[in-house]
Structure 1
Amino acid sequence: MSKREAIERLLNPESIAIVGVSQDFTSISGKPMKNLIRHQFKGQIYPINPKYEEIAGFTCYPSLLDIPGEVDVALIAVSSKRMMQILSECEQKNVRSVILFGSGFAEIGEEGERLQEEVLEKAKKAGITILGPNCIGLLNVKKSIPLGFSTSFETKEGFLSGNVGFASQSGALGFSLFGLAQEENIGFSHVINTGNQIDLHTLDCIAYMLEDGDTDVVAGYLEGIPDGEMLIRLAKRAKTLKKPLIVLKAGRSEIGRKAAMSHTASLTGSDETFQAIAKQYGLVTANDVDDMIDLMKVFSRGKQSNGNRVVTISNSGAAGIAMADYSEPLGLELVRLPNETQAKVEEIIPSYGSALNPIDITAQALKEQHIFTDTLEVLINEDEVDVIVIQTTFGGELGQKICKKVAEIDKTTAKPIIVTITGTAEITGEGRTILEKANVPVYTTSYKTMFAIKHLSNFSRFSRGQEPDQFEDGGVQIEENIDATGIWTEVRVKKELDSLGIKIPRGTLIKDRAHLQEVKTNVHYPVVCKGISKDVLHKTDAGSVKANIKDAAELEEAYESIVSSLHVYNPDADVEGILAEEMLQDESVEMFIGVKEDPQFGPLIVCGLGGIFVEVLKDISIRRAPITDKEAFAMLKELKGYPLLEGVRGGTTRDIQALTDALVRISQFASTHQERIQEMDINPLWVFEDGKGIAALDGIIVWKQNEETVAKAKPLI
């Protein structure tokens, strides 16, 4: 059975066995049966516990093997120590889908981890698919099938079905979020908690939901990313289907990462890396539960925006100012209305109002409620406006009338209309409910509104975008059969860069004193001398760099000084020689390009300001390799230091195209040698005046070999 088929069965069972069920419906082992009865499950329920003969009118069986009919899904609520026995019974009974509620597995340490591995091995041999352990269960919202013990299942009002699918590694947080979202009239198709996810994991559930016809928005809470490549494939699939994929990733801080380990035994990666992957592949990221609900709300509506041009209508000048303050940092444009449209608005609003954006219709709308809706109808026909925001504090009967009219107008246009209603639930709640039931996104603060619009605009732009251009090597071929071992020092790295079409300074590696005498009169002075050794990577720290050497005499002196310094710094250093390299004089901007192999996502390419600024400012941009020319340029544009390349305040424009080409070629090199390359660092990389190219002044590559080799390498950033 495929994972998709297993999830389908878990969500749509016709017969359910509850192993370890209790007559106490307030207990964890009693709640699953109580919830199925409460929501009138139409299939067969088989309680299993040798202590009882019947529970709530249902025959209770001593074991799975005593059940007369077939069992689609087994809910297992017994201790972890009995798990192997229960799995054997599942195998004999031909039960192929199980949910393990119990804890006591990998989250408790080595002993639990061993048991978890044994359970998984047993299940695989028996052809059994497992959800959990250490999970609360799942909910098919459309069919009202709750399989688990979440408090959210105990609602007396039933579940609001809709088009949002949600997979959560955490049960408590996941179903709490579900309950809060339901209160805001957000409907769901499915909610699945994966817990320790020893078999089915969050990405499997997300993959199912993306293909589900009842699901238009997919969300996931992840403490760890079980498969980086799969996440990228799902992001690409989401783009093809035009379904937003919203992710709340936990474990962003060091403390958070440790907490995630103790919680569900998950390994979490660098948040910086995750955010870069999200941006590159169009994942919608949330920072907390409130963000997730706000995003579910705006995306479940199904409308997209044609851009980031926003207009806001408000009966409060201060509220309009708040919108304006939030728009710029969130990348939104409060668009200037065309004169003709502005004139139409001026005919509707009081003379003491403002038809400029943000539009202030004043409190006169208390008497003339049509002012709000008439202004809205003008704006929905304005092509220069992508999203319309209505801000109001009106409550009571007036607020309800305005909300009803807004809901009616919203149905007539594909343009997103977002409403902000500030005020207490007592005063404004009924109007807010009218909008929510009409599926019009409504928020309580200006920031929440603009945050949602930012992500709607970004996703709409990304989903409209064409597939990235294919990599074009420009005639440069990447050699695959290279000696990818150990540490490549500067000389070997520069040879590779030269083959990639990246300029390097002219230089000579002086191997010994005899060689020095041969070459000292042929060197192009002035030069810089550097000691080359895989055992001494921090040249400056070792005193093995001498600059501005003007003649042969100074070269001999520099040679002796560097050799001496290297032996003092590391007596056992294996010295390849002393590199005498032309000292470039042209004015430049120092950049760096790096590569890092991420355990989850593969080769990442990084760029930023170089030299000492790498570690001080950490102004960097990251992408997964390989990248296209457009993606490389976008990386540069993201840098705070990008104006230095453009020529800030009349400064010299740098050769941005040459730098972009270098990023593309190095990313292709990293991709070609993925799983072999550990780290690559080109720093500094000088960028000269536009048309004069770039030059790599230093570099290192660390190949995957052993821990000892990798430990010698300096960190990329």
Structure 2
Amino acid sequence: MKPLSAFHTPKSVAVIGASNDPEKIGGRPIRYMREFGFTGAIYPVNPGRAEVQGLPAYPSVRDLPEVPDVVIVAVAGANAVEQVVICAEIGVSGCIVMASGFGETGDAEGLEAQERMLSAAPESGMRIVGPNSQGLANFANGAVLGFSTLFTEQPPLDGPVAIVSQSGAMCSVPYGMLREAGIGVRYAHGTGNDIDVSAAELALDIVADPDIQLLLLYLEDLKDPDSLALLAEAARKRDLPVIALKGGRSEAGQRAAASHTGALANEERVVDAFLKKHGIWRANSTRELVSATQLYLRARVPHGDRIAIVSNSGAVCVLTADAVDDYGLKLAEFAPATRGALGEVLPAFAAIDNPIDVTAALLTDSSLFGKVLPIVGADTAVHACIIGIPVAGRGYDVDRFADNIETFERDSGMPIVLVVPQSNIAEVFRERGLVVFADEATAVQALAQFLHHHQLMARSAGARHVPFTPQAIGKRMETVTLNEAQSLEVLQQIGIPVAQHVLVHDPSEAAAALAQLGGGRVVVKGCTSDTTHKSDLGLVRVGVDGPDEVAAVVREMFAIMEHHGLRNEGAIISQLVKGVHEGMLGGHVDPLFGPVVLLGAGGVYVEAMPDATVLIPPFTVDDALDALGQLRIAAVLDGVRGEAPVDVEAWAKAAVRLGDALVSDGSRIESLDINPLMLLERDGALQPTVQAVDGVVILREAPAGAK
């Protein structure tokens, strides 16, 4: 396939459906290329005109004096498909198809036309962006191959930010927000339906541009996760932050009927896990996509997330401290030397702890920021600083404040944000390039994103991606649900500890099984592959004691299975394991992302009150421990109110073993569900561990007679 660089640095561009009206879709790319400095050849294609916007026009792309690098297809319907076929035949490197009415409509006719368009490209190696594309724009060289009206409303300025969006509108909106804030944008791509070139592929080509310092993505689907993983890896190598906003939240892909894992590891959780694994920050709104841009472009890489707050208002100090807690940051604890130094420069009635209220004395002593900030910056416990100036103006030496804060930022090397609600005062700070917000919550949210994103990037530095082709397991594969005894055997093969158990096929075997388990109270369960919810049918009895009672319960299990028409595959007699807490562990093969692993609190309410997180294997024990630490149940795992601490590391190791098994060559596991996973007391004498007391495994297998 031909390289994507042609879309960014074309030497020649043809526009099929070129319009003499520079405000029409077929006219804007010509206008923009001429207006924004494109120096390559521009070839309007319009059989009805000899000239378009002062340029010679051609009746067909076949009539051009050369084969163009890129062709913009701005004609509709069947004509668009025909033109793409011709472009492939003559050897064009890339087509940008602006026409709509294809796969995005969801109707069979549109999908069929889209497939005809796509089938024209592979033999020649031509790449297709679109259809339904707003176009691509590179403002560094004027290759503005799109029709967005925002390029006239907010005139472009080349800069260090790139935007790649599957939606034209969600390319234009962040572009407009950034330009309104005075931030330059180099690339603004609205890719459309992505039938060939994906948004992630184009973004990967952009990552090679050394001038790009921030990459913003809008994704409506993630049908090309491998390219996104490659993009993330390339970005990490040059410490390039990537922020993604994902639309189209849905519950597609659940396997709730078969397992808790399928119900809880839904599409959104998997997307979150995938982005987190690869160091991509997920924004929740357009505002979050762009709000921290100035920090990414100006601030140096942070060393932690402990914050100092300095203001001339006690109320602002309180509100900012609340926001710091809301967004998961921490207030720095000043060293005694810091408090002592602050006490020497601040009025006696001022607070010398964090937050620092310099009080209204700032009105009469304009040097206070200049005195306080260097002291704060010298404290190694402080990683970033928020400065609130709610009221200033006449009587305040704002220029001196700005000088002092600019010097503090330069000398401390830490991220600094200001909260200045007065627009005219804020402009004084912005003119110096300082990062300014109008309110505390927005400022802290942006700072928290910046700090936590860099922590995420650092954690993902060693992320390893195992490529997965959607439906790689093959459409001819079927699934088979194992019974519990078979499932527990699979768990043991993976290396996950299971409760000691014996499978019996006749009540007369109960006494020997009980003796083999060492006696005592046991659990008796009917064993059948026809249902995964045995307790709902009365096929689980806990605390059965003595050989006679065990034999009686086995007979009862057999009777229940016969009553419900279930296959009788025996009864499991299992050691009664009492954990301090119950966890769960599961995995399945997502049809798009491949293997995923779920960890969470276990028990009968896992779906009603979910407390779970998803990881994309392969991952490390530290990754699993970090994920477990984010659960609500984490607060009690170390032991509270006299309870014993549990072996969390054993849980993490079991998760790693499961993840490794899922991504191993030849794995047949489609889904695996362990609930509960008993979390045992952490006690060296007892060999700290976890134990699976129940399991459901679904395997893939070829249908009978398949070759």
After TM superposition, the score normalised by the length of structure 1 is 0.88
User: 1:446 and 2:445 equivalent?
Assistant: no
- Counterparts of 2:426 and 2:24 in 1: how far apart (Å)? 36
Match of 1:291 among 284, 288, 291: 288
Alignment match, 2:415:
416
**Contact 2:232 / 2:279 at 8 angstroms: preserved in 1?**
yes
Do the aligned partners of residues 420 and 519 (structure 1) sit closer, same or farther apart at CA in structure 2, a change above 3 Å counting?
Answer: closer
- Counterparts of 1:315 and 1:101 in 2: how far apart (Å)? 54
- Counterparts of 1:651 and 1:635 in 2: how far apart (Å)? 22
Report the CA distance between 1:541 and its aligned residue: 1.5
Alignment match, 1:528:
523
- Counterparts of 2:312 and 2:702 in 1: how far apart (Å)? 67
| Worse-superposed segment, 111-120 or 80-89 | 80-89
* Partner secondary structure for residue 313 of structure 1: strand
**Contact 1:488 / 1:534 at 8 angstroms: preserved in 2?**
yes
- Counterparts of 2:367 and 2:158 in 1: how far apart (Å)? 34
Report the CA distance between 1:595 and its aligned residue: 0.9
| Worse-superposed segment, 318-327 or 509-518 | 509-518
Q: Which runs of 5+ in 2 are unaligned?
A: 255-264, 466-476
Equivalences for 1:29-48 in 2 at 5 Å?
29-48=26-45
- Counterparts of 1:315 and 1:327 in 2: how far apart (Å)? 18
| Worse-superposed segment, 515-524 or 605-614 | 515-524
- Counterparts of 2:611 and 2:668 in 1: how far apart (Å)? 27
Amino acid paired to 2:335:
P
User: 1:568 and 2:563 equivalent?
Assistant: yes
| Worse-superposed segment, 375-384 or 13-22 | 375-384
Report the CA distance between 1:382 and its aligned residue: 2.8
Do the aligned partners of residues 147 and 269 (structure 1) sit closer, same or farther apart at CA in structure 2, a change above 3 Å counting?
Answer: farther
Report the CA distance between 1:147 and its aligned residue: 1.3
Alignment match, 2:469:
none
**Contact 1:47 / 1:60 at 8 angstroms: preserved in 2?**
yes
Match of 2:574 among 560, 577, 581: 581
| Worse-superposed segment, 412-421 or 312-321 | 412-421
- Counterparts of 2:648 and 2:140 in 1: how far apart (Å)? 54
Match of 2:488 among 486, 490, 494: 494
- Counterparts of 2:462 and 2:197 in 1: how far apart (Å)? 32
User: 1:334 and 2:331 equivalent?
Assistant: yes
Do the aligned partners of residues 160 and 668 (structure 1) sit closer, same or farther apart at CA in structure 2, a change above 3 Å counting?
Answer: same
**Contact 2:103 / 2:193 at 8 angstroms: preserved in 1?**
yes
Alignment match, 1:695:
691
Provide, for residues 576-635 of structure 1, a one-character-per-residue CA deviation record: whole Å limited to 9, x for no partner: 111122333x45311111112122222111121211131232111221123222122222
- Counterparts of 2:75 and 2:458 in 1: how far apart (Å)? 50
User: 1:160 and 2:157 equivalent?
Assistant: yes
**Contact 1:219 / 1:246 at 8 angstroms: preserved in 2?**
yes
**Contact 1:16 / 1:44 at 8 angstroms: preserved in 2?**
yes
Amino acid paired to 1:414:
G
Amino acid paired to 2:269:
E
- Counterparts of 2:11 and 2:512 in 1: how far apart (Å)? 87
**Contact 1:269 / 1:600 at 8 angstroms: preserved in 2?**
no
Alignment match, 1:140:
138
- Counterparts of 2:38 and 2:499 in 1: how far apart (Å)? 75
Equivalences for 1:381-420 in 2 at 5 Å?
381-394=378-391, 398-420=397-419
* Partner secondary structure for residue 419 of structure 1: strand
Equivalences for 1:266-285 in 2 at 5 Å?
270-285=267-282
Do the aligned partners of residues 112 and 675 (structure 1) sit closer, same or farther apart at CA in structure 2, a change above 3 Å counting?
Answer: farther
Do the aligned partners of residues 208 and 707 (structure 1) sit closer, same or farther apart at CA in structure 2, a change above 3 Å counting?
Answer: farther
Larger relative contact order (Cα-Cα within 8 Å, sequence gap ≥ 6): 2
User: 1:540 and 2:535 equivalent?
Assistant: yes
Alignment match, 2:700:
704
User: 1:65 and 2:57 equivalent?
Assistant: no
Report the CA distance between 1:101 and its aligned residue: 0.8
**Contact 2:251 / 2:267 at 8 angstroms: preserved in 1?**
no
Report the CA distance between 1:396 and its aligned residue: 5.0
- Counterparts of 1:548 and 1:141 in 2: how far apart (Å)? 73
- Counterparts of 2:342 and 2:11 in 1: how far apart (Å)? 59
* Partner secondary structure for residue 564 of structure 1: helix
- Counterparts of 1:412 and 1:141 in 2: how far apart (Å)? 34
Q: Which runs of 5+ in 1 are unaligned?
A: 258-267, 472-482, 709-717
- Counterparts of 1:131 and 1:301 in 2: how far apart (Å)? 33
Alignment match, 1:365:
362
Do the aligned partners of residues 521 and 696 (structure 1) sit closer, same or farther apart at CA in structure 2, a change above 3 Å counting?
Answer: closer
- Counterparts of 2:667 and 2:168 in 1: how far apart (Å)? 35
Report the CA distance between 1:129 and its aligned residue: 1.4
| Pairwise CA RMSD | 2.8
- Counterparts of 1:180 and 1:549 in 2: how far apart (Å)? 67
Do the aligned partners of residues 469 and 24 (structure 1) sit closer, same or farther apart at CA in structure 2, a change above 3 Å counting?
Answer: closer
User: 1:352 and 2:344 equivalent?
Assistant: no
- Counterparts of 2:152 and 2:274 in 1: how far apart (Å)? 38
Amino acid paired to 1:536:
T
Do the aligned partners of residues 656 and 300 (structure 1) sit closer, same or farther apart at CA in structure 2, a change above 3 Å counting?
Answer: same
**Contact 1:210 / 1:216 at 8 angstroms: preserved in 2?**
no
Amino acid paired to 2:503:
L
Do the aligned partners of residues 318 and 72 (structure 1) sit closer, same or farther apart at CA in structure 2, a change above 3 Å counting?
Answer: same
| Worse-superposed segment, 146-155 or 39-48 | 39-48
Amino acid paired to 2:697:
I
- The size of the alignment, in residue pairs, is 674
- Counterparts of 2:33 and 2:463 in 1: how far apart (Å)? 52
- Counterparts of 1:386 and 1:676 in 2: how far apart (Å)? 48
Do the aligned partners of residues 220 and 86 (structure 1) sit closer, same or farther apart at CA in structure 2, a change above 3 Å counting?
Answer: same
- Counterparts of 2:460 and 2:115 in 1: how far apart (Å)? 44
Provide, for residues 517-571 of structure 1, a one-character-per-residue CA deviation record: whole Å limited to 9, x for no partner: 87677663432211101002211112112232222322232122111111222x2
Alignment match, 1:217:
214
Provide, for residues 314-356 of structure 1, a one-character-per-residue CA deviation record: whole Å limited to 9, x for no partner: 1221111111101123221111222222233333333333222
Amino acid paired to 1:589:
H
**Contact 2:164 / 2:190 at 8 angstroms: preserved in 1?**
yes
- Counterparts of 1:323 and 1:672 in 2: how far apart (Å)? 49
Provide, for residues 98-128 of structure 1, a one-character-per-residue CA deviation record: whole Å limited to 9, x for no partner: 2111101101121111111111110222322
Q: Between the two proteins, what is the percent identity of the paired residues?
A: 28
- Counterparts of 2:492 and 2:266 in 1: how far apart (Å)? 34
- Counterparts of 1:619 and 1:677 in 2: how far apart (Å)? 24
Amino acid paired to 2:413:
A
**Contact 1:594 / 1:680 at 8 angstroms: preserved in 2?**
yes
User: 1:649 and 2:641 equivalent?
Assistant: yes
Alignment match, 1:686:
678
Do the aligned partners of residues 673 and 297 (structure 1) sit closer, same or farther apart at CA in structure 2, a change above 3 Å counting?
Answer: same
**Contact 2:276 / 2:456 at 8 angstroms: preserved in 1?**
no
User: 1:119 and 2:117 equivalent?
Assistant: yes
Alignment match, 2:260:
none
Match of 2:598 among 578, 594, 606: 606
Amino acid paired to 2:698:
V
Report the CA distance between 1:93 and its aligned residue: 4.4
Match of 1:204 among 196, 201, 207: 201
Do the aligned partners of residues 98 and 502 (structure 1) sit closer, same or farther apart at CA in structure 2, a change above 3 Å counting?
Answer: closer
**Contact 1:39 / 1:158 at 8 angstroms: preserved in 2?**
no
Amino acid paired to 2:539:
S
Alignment match, 1:379:
376
- Counterparts of 1:161 and 1:241 in 2: how far apart (Å)? 21
Alignment match, 2:192:
195
Provide, for residues 109-152 of structure 1, a one-character-per-residue CA deviation record: whole Å limited to 9, x for no partner: 21111111111110222322111110111221223432111012
Report the CA distance between 1:657 and its aligned residue: 3.2
Report the CA distance between 1:429 and its aligned residue: 5.0
User: 1:551 and 2:549 equivalent?
Assistant: no
* Partner secondary structure for residue 196 of structure 2: coil
Do the aligned partners of residues 159 and 574 (structure 1) sit closer, same or farther apart at CA in structure 2, a change above 3 Å counting?
Answer: same
Report the CA distance between 1:36 and its aligned residue: 2.4
Equivalences for 1:12-31 in 2 at 5 Å?
12-31=9-28
Match of 1:667 among 648, 659, 662: 659
